[in-house]
Amino acid sequence: MWYLPRAEDTILTQSDQPRPLEARESGALIGQVRIPGDKSISHRALILGALAVGQTTISGLLEGEDVLNTAKAMRALGAKVERTGDFAWSMRGVGVAGFAEPQAPLDFGNSGTGCRLVMGAVAGCPITAVFDGDASLRSRPMRRVLDPLELMGARVRSNGDGGQLPLTLIGARDPLPIVYRTPVASAQIKSAVLLAGLAAPGTTTVIETEASRDHTELMLRHFGAEIVSAREGTHGRKIVLRGQPELHGIDIVVPADPSSAAFFIVAALIVEGSDLVLSDVMTNPLRTGLFTTLREMGAAIEQTEKRGDAGEPMARLRVRASKLRGVEVPAERAPSMIDEYLVLAVAAAFAEGTTIMRGLHELRVKESDRLEATADMLRVNGVKAEISGDDLIVEGRGHVPGGGLVATHMDHRIAMSALVMGLGADKAVRVDDTAFIATSFPDFIPMMRSLGAEFS
């Protein structure tokens, strides 16, 4: 088989063309916005639409680089994918196990979610594909997703010790159904196994000790798969999928991304006089740990106009500036807010008292070591922050001195969190590179400015 060259050993901390930016104390943030579509739902809509028979139409698709790279991968694997308007897409799928062998490597840029989920979908097809990404993605571990796929009959060839990209994935000609207990709470591991299990006969079972996001299960059911999810133990789930279904094309409205909404919510809470309304925000209980935590801290977050689409609930949120207090966030809440701890740390810095966030090991294997990067972001801006094992402890004093330069390590969420912090800090907060915000939220900066944010 063939391989791409190894990534350079040098760890990059900025993009080739860094875009520094400064955020400074703003007036009240006022207005109503519709946050772009949820990234997790957007990835899954494209992948399942490609595995379905017939036409799937998607409205509200997030058009960030991560999702667009998944769309390109679906085209390379044989699906017909077309953009029909702003955030509107149409696709015609190839059916379960119907992917064609791609003629070039599948490049996922910075997206771990897109890469790992597509690995699962490809593992159940009798094809060979090369997976690659940018320097950040090449440094991230893939082994815990690849292990169950190999149990199902796929084969992997990688030059990296932990199965790092670039790697060659040889899909199973006759995929095997398995019963797999995930080693950690990870929607990506679970989803990869379920997507591979679509092509296997019989039933594929995934058991989680701690329940992770259930977007894949809900959307599989919406496309016509037979899938059952039941409680397992105190906090876990057991998911059973019957293999070899015929998935049917559907219409999907992608709800607004709660992980992207988090930056606007925290900004409104910490900037005096702010009053924001966010429409159609996903309120899946496995994604709203941040909302629960902020309310415990005293946040004024009002939820109305509840509705749903594709199995996903959504609602209108009104957020007003609030005096926050420190709280302890239990480890079992981590799966429902793993991407939001960075901006929660910003809220904790503006709160009165100590906030303890427990069980954050998963932050160490994201786009960067987010646990260390979050603590550094706070410290350089005058906030006392300590890491104890897998816990982050933030000493809030009701205000943030600011004045620091934040190193983003090519991580979009660090960049956005630091910019939010600057809006309420005593002195401006500088960010070394905002270029990677485009991977998940290309309109973040103009949308924040439209509400009154001060960036320069």
- What are the tens digits of pLDDT across the range 410-422? 899 999 999 999 9
125: nearest Cα among 51, 55, 62: 51
Q: Is 214 in the active site?
A: no
Q: Which of 132, 214, 339, 432 is catalytic?
A: 339
Count of other CB atoms within 10 angstroms of residue 388: 9
Strand 179-181 and strand 203-208: pairing? parallel
- Residue 155's pLDDT is 97
312: nearest Cα among 423, 446, 455, 213: 213
- 3-class DSSP state of 240: strand
Residue 289 contacts residue 340 (beta carbons within 8 Å): yes
- Residue 5's pLDDT is 30
Cα–Cα distance between 49 and 57 in angstroms, integer? 8
Residue 374 contacts residue 333 (beta carbons within 8 Å): no
Please, is 170 exposed, middle or buried when counting C-beta atoms within 10 Å of its C-beta (0-12, 13-18, 19+)? Answer: middle
Q: Please identify every stretch of the chain with a pLDDT value under 50, giving residue numbers as ranges.
A: 1-12
Consecutive H or E run containing 261: helix 258-270
- What are the tens digits of pLDDT across the range 223-236? 999 999 999 998 89
The distance from CA 363 to its chain's CA centroid, rounded to whole angstroms, is 12
Cα–Cα distance between 64 and 148 in angstroms, integer? 29
Cα–Cα distance between 265 and 432 in angstroms, integer? 23
Q: 16 CB contacts (<8 Å, ≥6 apart)?
A: none
Cα–Cα distance between 411 and 399 in angstroms, integer? 25
201: nearest Cα among 172, 180, 230: 172
Q: 405: which strand partners?
A: 430
Q: 308: which strand partners?
A: 313
- 3-class DSSP state of 215: helix
The strand order across the sheet containing 251-253 reads 80-85, 88-92, 55-59, 251-253
- Report CA Rg, the chain: 21
The whole-model pTM stands at 0.82
Residue 102 contacts residue 77 (beta carbons within 8 Å): yes
368: nearest Cα among 405, 400, 412: 412
- 3-class DSSP state of 219: helix
Q: Left, alpha or beta for 84 (phi > 0: left; psi -120 to 50: alpha)?
A: alpha
Which DSSP string corresponds to 24-48? E-----EEEE-PPBPHHHHHHHHHH
HSE on the CB side for 356, CA within 13 Å?
9
